[in-house]
Amino acid sequence: MNKLEKITPLEQDFAKWYTDVVKQGQLIAYGPAKGTLVFKPNSYGIWELIQENLNKIFKQKGIQNVYLPLLIPQKLFELEKEHVNGFNPELATVTRVGDRELSEKFYIRPTSEVLFANLFKNSIESYKDLPIVYNQWANVLRWEKTTNPFLRSREFLWQEGHTCHSNALEARKLTREMIKVYAKFLKKYLAIPVVIGKKTSHEKFAGACSTYTIEAMMKDGRALQAGTSHYLAQNFSKPYEIIFKNQDNEYINVFQTSWGVSTRLLGAIIMTHGDNHGIVIPPRVAPTQIDILELFADKSEEVKEISKKLNKELSKKWRVRVDSTNKNPGFKAANSEIQGTPLRIEIGPRDLENKNVTIVRRDTLEKITVKIKDVKNLVGNLLDDIHENLYESALKRLNENSVTVFTYDDFKKEISNGKFVTAPFCCLDEAEVRIKEETGASTRCIPLKLDKPEKNRKCIFDECKKETNRYVVFAKSY
């Protein structure tokens, strides 16, 4: 690649800005089948760091990684009716091998509840075998009609946790614990603040008893569901006959949970931190944390020398990449920016005369002239600063764009302003469908924490005359 194309300003056309950023940022290429993606090193590297860091957290919690098959026999899938109805229109089906028609058809997994159910059924005997807390890193397929890189593609990568417990209490507790693990992870590693809450019955996972979610706010005000944790109760363990003998020698169905985050998180990073120069990758998951740019190296041996020295020194602790091409300084800077590298160090002959180099922060684009000997000490602090700044900016935006309303008129106005709108709402599925038709907004969650909610306010749904204490966050969403 020798030239960088312009990125559409995000104020002008957010959707176009997004697709420009994913393509120009060396993040993806489109796959040969519609709605499929190639994860290039700059995006797959983020995913690998998400994996690495989540795995550390999982390991501390005693979660064990396993790998289950890609294909689900049709008959096995169809035991849990709500689950199958939720996924059926999106199921890619293998019917043939070579020139032979198969007598039994197979679905490519859209999620693995039924595969885990089958495994658990055959491996659990007594309460001594419980709890089982497994996790799988895998690809899944859902044949989406409209697709969007990272956000909604036909194949995506994720982790899916699946657990079995001897009692409902323990399973419910883990369901809530995992959604908090995700919220903390997004804050600490991706610099993304979220609203934690419970899905309404209309929005919960097909087959779950209840679903918890973390909802992040994108720069256009729309919500992105960034992770979910489901309490499955005995909804799968009954049809799939996952039974154990309890301490009283009774045979009981296990209680289950499942939870996951996916490569959607890459979309969340882009739309939370990105700007008109491209993606901004939070330092702790940046495949390259520091770009070293050699400027006018053909005119100065010293540039190469200092570059080599700094690379050696910084690589011990951080992920460093050196641009030693003979492209011009402007191109190199723009290329580093468009790829979202948190820090770049420009080494040029003029700075070197004073034993200086220039460090540029990707988040603020601030330029800092610094003595070569001080670079190492400064870099660690700057990377932490960038993380903090990204998080604080996103949190400020989330707070400033979250409102509580009590009338349907205000509701409609604030939704069209692109806000997260909290409102008293007691109604069921049909009302949610109507509100979505009228405003484009869906229920995101019933937040776990709410600042001093007013009691007994009229439900926001026009036709409902009841008062309620249940507050729900609505927003337009991805």
* Span from 92-100, 161-169, 192-200, 221-229 in contact with a second copy (CB under 8 A): 92-100
Q: Which of 73, 86, 239, 440 binds a second copy (CB under 8 A)?
A: 73
b or e along 100-130 (b: 16 or more beta carbons within 10 Å of the residue's beta carbon)?
eeeeebbbbbbbbbbbbbbbbbeebeebeeb
Q: What gap in Å lies between CA 450 and CA 285, rounded to an integer?
A: 31
Peptide bond into 131 cis (omega under 30): yes
Number of shown-chain residues binding a second copy (CB under 8 A): 60
Q: Which of 13, 16, 81, 93 binds a second copy (CB under 8 A)?
A: 93
Of the pair 92, 352, the CB lying nearest a second copy is at 92
Contacts (CB under 8 A) with a second copy, residues 369-428: none
Of the pair 88, 354, the CB lying nearest a second copy is at 88
Query: Closest separation between CB of residue 211 and a second copy, Å?
Result: 23
**In which residue are the tokens 């070293």 written?**
292
The reply on whether position 94 binds a second copy by CB under 8 A is yes
Q: Which of 11, 13, 15, 65 binds a second copy (CB under 8 A)?
A: 65
Query: Closest separation between CB of residue 161 and a second copy, Å?
Result: 13
Of the pair 6, 145, the CB lying nearest a second copy is at 145
Q: Which of 8, 36, 53, 276 binds a second copy (CB under 8 A)?
A: 36
* Span from 88-96, 185-193, 296-304, 384-392 in contact with a second copy (CB under 8 A): 88-96
209 neighbors 172 (Cβ within 8 angstroms)? no
Q: What gap in Å lies between CA 311 and CA 374, rounded to an integer?
A: 14
What does the radius of gyration of the chain's CA atoms come to, in whole angstroms?
25
The reply on whether position 32 binds a second copy by CB under 8 A is yes
- At residue 295, the 3 state secondary structure works out as coil
The reply on whether position 269 binds a second copy by CB under 8 A is no
Query: Closest separation between CB of residue 10 and a second copy, Å?
Result: 26
342 neighbors 285 (Cβ within 8 angstroms)? no
Q: What gap in Å lies between CA 299 and CA 35, rounded to an integer?
A: 47
Q: What gap in Å lies between CA 283 and CA 385, rounded to an integer?
A: 10
The reply on whether position 155 binds a second copy by CB under 8 A is yes
* Span from 61-69, 200-208, 254-262, 377-385 in contact with a second copy (CB under 8 A): 61-69
Tokens at 204, concatenated = 């919960």
The reply on whether position 37 binds a second copy by CB under 8 A is yes
Closest CA to 270 of 39, 21, 476: 21
Closest CA to 82 of 208, 177, 193, 185: 208
Which residues on neighbouring strands pair with residue 471, listed in sequence order? 424
* Span from 65-73, 164-172, 301-309, 380-388 in contact with a second copy (CB under 8 A): 65-73
The reply on whether position 41 binds a second copy by CB under 8 A is yes
- At residue 26, the 3 state secondary structure works out as coil
Q: What are phi and psi of 264, to 5 degrees?
A: -55, -30
Closest CA to 140 of 67, 190, 196: 67
The reply on whether position 33 binds a second copy by CB under 8 A is yes
Q: Which of 12, 60, 89, 456 binds a second copy (CB under 8 A)?
A: 89
Tokens at 258, concatenated = 């499942």
- Contact string (CB under 8 A) for a second copy, positions 95-134, x = contact: xxxxx----xxx-x------x--xx--xx-xx-xx----x
Of the pair 42, 439, the CB lying nearest a second copy is at 42
Query: Closest separation between CB of residue 140 and a second copy, Å?
Result: 10
393: left (phi over 0), alpha (psi -120 to 50) or beta: alpha
The reply on whether position 39 binds a second copy by CB under 8 A is yes
Of the pair 236, 471, the CB lying nearest a second copy is at 236
Query: Closest separation between CB of residue 122 and a second copy, Å?
Result: 6
**In which residue are the tokens 């603020």 written?**
364
Of the pair 102, 450, the CB lying nearest a second copy is at 102
**Ranges assigned E (strand) in 177-323:** 195-198, 210-217, 223-233, 243-245, 251-253, 255-262, 290-294, 320-323
The number of residues in the chain equals 478
The reply on whether position 45 binds a second copy by CB under 8 A is yes
The reply on whether position 208 binds a second copy by CB under 8 A is no
Q: What gap in Å lies between CA 26 and CA 39, rounded to an integer?
A: 9
The reply on whether position 44 binds a second copy by CB under 8 A is yes
Which residues contact a second copy (rule: CB under 8 A)? 1-2, 29, 31-33, 36-41, 44-45, 47-48, 64-73, 76, 88-99, 104-106, 108, 115, 118-119, 122-123, 125-126, 128-129, 134, 138-139, 141, 143, 154-155, 157
